[in-house]
Amino acid sequence: MKSSKKTFITNKMLKSAIRDSFKKLNPKDMIKNPVMFVAYIGMIITAILTFFPQIVGENGRIYNGIVTVILFATIVFANFAEAIAEGRGKAQADTLKSTKKDTKAKLLKPDGSYTIVSASELRKGSLVLVEAGDMIPNDGEVIEGLASVNESAITGESAPVIKESGGDFSCVTGGTTVVSDWIKVEITSEPGESFLDKMISLVEGASRKKTPNEIALSTLLIALTVIFLVVIISLYPIANFVGVKLEVSTLVALLVCLIPTTIGGLLSSIGIAGMDRVTRFNVIAMSGKAVEACGDVDVMILDKTGTITFGNRLAADFIPVEGILKDEMIKYSLITSIKDTTPEGKSTIDLGQKLGFQIDEKEYAEDEFLEFTAQTKSSGVNLKNGEKIRKGANSAIIEFVKNNGGSIPNDLKEKVDGISKLGGTPLVVAKDDKIYGVIYLKDTVKPGLAERFVKLREMGIKTIMCTGDNPLTAATIASEAGVDEYIAECTPEDKIEAIKKEQDLGKIVAMTGDGTNDAPALAQANVGIAMNSGTIAAKEAANMVDLDSDPTKILDVVGIGKQLLITRGALTTFSIANDVAKYFAIIPAMFMIAIPQMQILNVMRLSSSKSAIISALIFNAIIIPLLIPIALKGVKYVPMKPEKILKRNLSIYGLGGVLVPFIGIKIIDIIITPLLALLGM
């Protein structure tokens, strides 16, 4: 499901979209888009006049036929824009459906034995056994066992994840496969209501409901259409008054050119494509409203652990005790970490190497290395020469040194307490009867986050970090990460209060979470992104689910939401600006024979009134498919303040919307003038 590996539009999508474009000509479908429905009615009128021009006392079958064909193309192009956007969503749904099979499940009996049943027979509360090679039949919670699960069918990631009972990693998804070991799962959803089923229905663009902003814009477009309809109806008696005979097809063409058909034809595809972009980013949005809300986010509330920091405490400094050389302390720290595969051990080696220290592992290949255990609270190595080197918790190392007849340095407590007050973890290093110093482990801020927070600030978005750490540690991490505010010793209740406080100020709030205790806050936030690896409670409370379980993705999702809003605004601006050029193309052409003074408005110097009208109508039709790539891919979004974005888009799409039609209509006029002459028009 990774977007980088997806073809933008496949031949299959293209064929399906073309077929659906004609299917959507059904009046029941057309009336859902009032702007295009007006063009649809206009096409029917001109089609009737093509065969029966005498109804209105005209004799222009060829002209009426040309207008009809162009209007038909306009409507089909608009349908195609929506169909191709829907097709991309349906293609993803088909991929998901291919992973959804009627699998067999091992339904557990009360006596511990099991019977093989169809997955469709399972109900909420059923207990199943899933062993290596088995597909998990439906969503559930691990109640016993531990297993490695391949979730590539859902996330696109081939690396398996560990699932076990208890905690935030007990949730399993139907359609994923157990790679090793076994688990007992309690089914938590009824057939047809699994997460995979929801994903399939959500990526089906055809079932997408209009968002509030889209409804508001649709209302505006309808209002503009009604206004132009009144103008066109009023124009007929005015033309008669000044002695200008206006054909019905001309009035229809003028109406279709002046109403916002461009954005009317692209509006649905923009919305569908917005949800599609989020989905291709491996985030499932529960509604288009959630995607739009991302674009309006004012405040982001972020967990510290796993979002702002790595979550694993990494070596940050070597602090020797009094009387010990730092180089000597670093040497013994690295020796104890040679075969320590924990993040702490690896980071100790990395930090030592950055400081210029190298350890030859071959030199210690035959030595006895001791892994960290909960009982000893330490790890280390027993060298061949009899020396014993240890690193671990303060209490464990003190006991080790005392057992070897050593004494405790006077400044050890001060150094250990100083690290603890900063929220770090002290690892004391000793050799035999002597303590050498303390390794300072700290939760490290992810690289590049500070720069991203600066960009968010430029966009007018405030960041708030939530952490259970003490105020001193919270302040240190907040300063290093560059967040605007922080909440120390934060409880789930504190998160909800923080969200409500911002919402009371009229702010749109986003946050991420993965645990059951995050569910209330996710539900309260305007944009709640739950991790796919998290609990079912968190996923049900949120309005987005990140399939990659990357908490920092909220930063990118906000960008996608803003891109959706900017794309809609930019193309609306372009569409309305188009009408200015069409006005200068058609109105002077219609009246300049009876009113020669209007020739001054014919700035494009179009050949004739018929060529002007047909040229404008053709441009109005072809601009829709030309803008489809922008509608689907979205306008390029560059993080900046809203007022700068507005100025940028007005200069590009506002000015471009005025200039492009002038050029396009003139070129079309030059091309079609000889053809119209051949037809005697």
Q: How far apart are the first and last CA of the chain?
A: 54
Q: How far apart are CA 556 and CA 136, in angstroms?
A: 31
**Nearest-5° Cα angle at 160, 154 to 162:** 110
Q: Pairing between strand 368-370 and 378-382?
A: antiparallel
CB environment 474-502: b (16+ within 10 A), e (fewer): bebbbeebbbeebbbebebeebbebbeeb
Query: Two tokens at 351?
Result: 């930090």
Question: Is 344 annotated as belonging to a binding site?
Answer: yes
Helix (H) / strand (E) element for 77: namely helix 61-99
Active-site annotation holds for 303: yes
What is the three-class DSSP state of 439? Answer: strand
Residue 180: CB atoms within 10 Å: 14
524 is annotated as contributing to ligand binding: no
Contact 304, 24 (CB under 8 A): no
Q: Would you state the torsion angle of the CA atoms of residues 644, 649, 652, 655, taken in this order, to the nearest 10 degrees? A: -110
Is there a binding annotation on residue 378? Answer: yes
Q: Torsions phi, psi of 117, nearest 5? A: -135, 165
Q: Which residues contact 674 (CB under 8 A, 6 or more apart)?
A: none
Chain position carrying tokens 């104890």: 336
* CA-based R_g, the chain, Å: 34
Q: Is 411 annotated as a binding residue?
A: no
The answer to whether residues 673 and 607 touch, using CB atoms and an 8 Å cutoff, is yes
Cα dihedral value 65, 69, 71, 75, nearest 10 = 150
632 and 85 Cβ atoms separated by less than 8 Å:
yes
Flag whether 518 is marked binding: yes
Was 281 annotated as part of a binding site? no
Pick from 565, 79, 574: nearest CA to 274: 565
- Looking up tokens 């905690």 gives 167
Q: Is 372 annotated as a binding residue?
A: yes
| Rounded Cα–Cα distance for residues 365 and 127 (Å) | 48
Residue 134: how many CB atoms within 10 A of its CB? 18
177-187 and 140-150 beta bridge pairing: antiparallel
Q: What is d(CA 320, CA 430) in angstroms, rounded to the nearest whole number?
A: 11
Q: Is 340 annotated for ligand binding?
A: yes
* Dist. CA 566–CA 645, nearest whole Å: 8
Neighbours of 210 (CB within 10 A): 16
HEC profile of 256-313: HHHCCHHHHHHHHHHHHHHHHHHHHCCEEECCHHHHHHHHCCCEEEEECECCCEEEEE
Residue 74 labelled as part of a binding site:
no
Bridge partners, 172 (sequence order): 140
634/296 Cα distance (integer angstroms) = 17
> Which member of 303, 443, 469, 546 is catalytic?
303
400 carries a ligand binding annotation: no
Integer Cα distance of 391 and 591 in angstroms: 93
3-state class percentages of the chain: helix first, strand second, coil last, to nearest 5? 55, 15, 30
Cβ neighbours, 10 Å, residue 406? 16
Q: Which residues are annotated as a binding site?
A: 340, 344, 372-379, 391, 514, 518
User: Which residue numbers are catalytic?
Assistant: 303
Annotated binding-site ranges for Mg(2+): 514, 518
Q: Which residues are annotated as a binding site for ATP?
A: 340, 344, 372-379, 391
